[in-house]
A and B are shown apart, each in its own frame.
Chain A
């Protein structure tokens, strides 16, 4: 990065923060601070909802995931539009009717105080943990690759977020998210365009897709029923649906984004905006990763994308072994390039013939050999540094940005990562503060305070959660897969929270005590499943935790209700 990049990076970030603070300088009162001022239109709500969900991890890990495993991850999002239809039709009208600040207020009006507090507590538990990861995940990668100090990088993101979220609350979060999304879209499209420009020297876009397809990278849809497969249409439409329904319907960081709309209609349209655009957006980000894979067929990739890990091994007594793997890798990469270049010709001249199949088979053979070379490096790295994170897919996209984008654009793309981190983190600390302020402080501790008092408490809580998120990020250990770590934490709690809400909406005869104890038993069951999975006693995709938590909460609540009725 040069001074132009630094100027663009900090200029973009500071401009967004200053805009958020300036536009909300006259906002006063708890209503405006926690729910926005009720003027948001559907476009702003839609972008805010999208920006909250699209964290920095989305833009770092998702291209890396596609680089390793292809487009299959997109199926995770297939349940999202259906979930948004349900939230729009069932949840939004009730939230508006009750004029709630948090989703959990509804649980008290339907059940009782203890169920409301349980819902709020489960949210605080999972979102509080995730808030640290949202900052830590991009910070560890950016600090490694740019050789910045990790703590300072975490502080940069954390402090900037605290400034505008503390100052303007929900409205500042939504206003800044519009601009953060604009930066993200411009940055990602520019990176994709430049990647295609470089590749045009060797292949057209269509030919690049053919090469990617030959290597099995474009299998976006899989109808296989096998339960061991992590991403299929069925896991997306079931587990993905539960995850999305829970996230959009019961997670305060999302609920707060759309209940601040001008009216029910604007909030509903904001969600429909996401129902239509979310899958194409994820598809595009994954396609960036797949094209990156093809790009590195023609532009020699490093053996390992995390430069710090390479230095670690090169300075060890295994340096000679690594040099040998490196030499093999170079030869294999050259051979793969030759075969890939001939793919369009074989497709055109020998389509459907045995010759074409053999040629693709040879390309796949060398591609697998390259994977084996990369794996050998990781084994050496792990043997030299037990416990070190050997996964390098999170560094793939950033390595491309730093090595191939022109100056100026590098600064913009790093701003994309920071903007995404800031947009998600601001929603998180804003919602965590609201939940404590409304569901615990105002409801349980101090019921008769002034508007000014609650505003002051909410601001202090925003500041407090911001500091906690920074501390979590600083002490966080490296997760094996960052994007999955966040999703796993979410899946452990989301099913139960959603179960409570679905019982509230659709099972009118179940009372507060039944659902409260039903939810506690269901959550214990999910946590047990997770530990059994971790200890490899069972083999279960984490998305199924959502289904287990949800079904267990509903079933146990109904059984307890029947039991209580009989006892009475």
Chain B
């Protein structure tokens, strides 16, 4: 395996992984928002 090899270990494209990570951030903001509201 050479150093510039760039195939992601999951899925076929990095864009898919980036999209999942970004979606996870949105999900965390939403969850923490509801968490804040749930115990007021």
Interface residues of A (CB under 8 A from B): 38, 42, 71, 74, 78, 81-82, 84-85, 88-89, 93, 96-97, 99, 209-210, 212-214, 218-221, 233, 262-265, 268-269, 272, 275-276, 279-280, 283
Cβ of A88 and Cβ of B1 under 8 Å apart? no
Cβ of A210 and Cβ of B1 under 8 Å apart? no
Cβ of A221 and Cβ of B29 under 8 Å apart? yes
From A236, which residue of chain B is reached at the shortest CB distance? B29
Q: Which among B6, B28, B39 is the interface contact of A210 at CB below 8 angstroms? A: B39
**Size band of the interface chain B makes with A:** 20 to 34
Cβ of A220 and Cβ of B8 under 8 Å apart? no
B4 is an interface residue with CB less than 8 A from chain A: yes
Complex CA–CA separation, A212 to B36 (angstroms): 10
Interface residues of B (CB under 8 A from A): 1-9, 14, 17-18, 21-22, 24-25, 28-29, 32-33, 35-36, 38-40
From A280, which residue of chain B is reached at the shortest CB distance? B28
From B39, which residue of chain A is reached at the shortest CB distance? A213
From B8, which residue of chain A is reached at the shortest CB distance? A265
Find chain A residues with CB under 8 A from B9 CB.
42, 265, 269
Find chain A residues with CB under 8 A from B29 CB.
78, 221, 233
Complex CA–CA separation, A209 to B36 (angstroms): 10
> What's the least CB distance linking A46 to chain B, in Å?
12
Cβ of A218 and Cβ of B36 under 8 Å apart? yes
Find chain B residues with CB under 8 A from A280 CB.
28
Cβ of B21 and Cβ of A275 under 8 Å apart? yes
From B9, which residue of chain A is reached at the shortest CB distance? A269
Complex CA–CA separation, A221 to B2 (angstroms): 43
8 pairs, A vs B, C-beta closer than 8 Å: A81-B22, A93-B6, A220-B32, A262-B3, A269-B8, A272-B21, A276-B24, A280-B28
Q: Which among B3, B18, B22, B24 is the interface contact of A38 at CB below 8 angstroms? A: B3
A221-B36 contact, Cβ under 8 Å, with A38-B3, A268-B8? yes
From B28, which residue of chain A is reached at the shortest CB distance? A279
Cβ of A89 and Cβ of B2 under 8 Å apart? no
Cβ of A81 and Cβ of B39 under 8 Å apart? no
Complex CA–CA separation, A514 to B22 (angstroms): 35
Complex CA–CA separation, A295 to B32 (angstroms): 22
Cβ of A265 and Cβ of B6 under 8 Å apart? yes
- Top 4 A-B residue pairs of the complex, sorted by shortest distance between their CB atoms: A213-B39, A220-B32, A221-B33, A263-B5
Complex CA–CA separation, A264 to B14 (angstroms): 11
From A86, which residue of chain B is reached at the shortest CB distance? B18
Cβ of A89 and Cβ of B4 under 8 Å apart? no
Q: Which among A85, A96, A212, A272 is the interface contact of B39 at CB below 8 angstroms? A: A212
